[in-house]
Amino acid sequence: AQSVSQHNHHVILSEAASLELGCNYSYGGTVNLFWYVQYPGQHLQLLLKYFSGDPLVKGIKGFEAEFIKSKFSFNLRKPSVQWSDTAEYFCAVNTADTGRRALTFGSGTRLQVQP
Partner 1 sequence: ETGVTQSPTHLIKTRGQQVTLRCSSQSGHNTVSWYQQALGQGPQFIFQYYREEENGRGNFPPRFSGLQFPNYSSELNVNALELDDSALYLCASSLSTSGAAETQYFGPGTRLLVL
Among 4, 47, 76, 113, binds partner 1 (CB under 8 A): 4
36 binds partner 1 (CB under 8 A): yes
**What's the CA angle centered on 2, arms 89 and 48, to 5 degrees?**
35
CB of 61 or CB of 80, closer to partner 1: 61
103 binds partner 1 (CB under 8 A): yes
100 binds partner 1 (CB under 8 A): yes
Binding segment (CB under 8 A) for partner 1, from list 14-22, 46-54, 65-73, 79-87: 46-54
86 binds partner 1 (CB under 8 A): no
Spatial neighbors of 52 by CB under 8 A, at least 6 apart, are none
39 binds partner 1 (CB under 8 A): no
Q: How would you label 19-49 residue by residue, b for 16+ Cβ within 10 Å and e otherwise?
A: bebebbbebeeebebbbbbeeeeeeeeebbe
59 binds partner 1 (CB under 8 A): no
3-state helix, strand, coil in the chain (%, to 5): 10, 50, 40
Residue type, 5: S
Binding stretches for partner 1 (CB under 8 A): 4, 32, 34, 36, 42-46, 49, 51-52, 90, 92, 96, 99-108
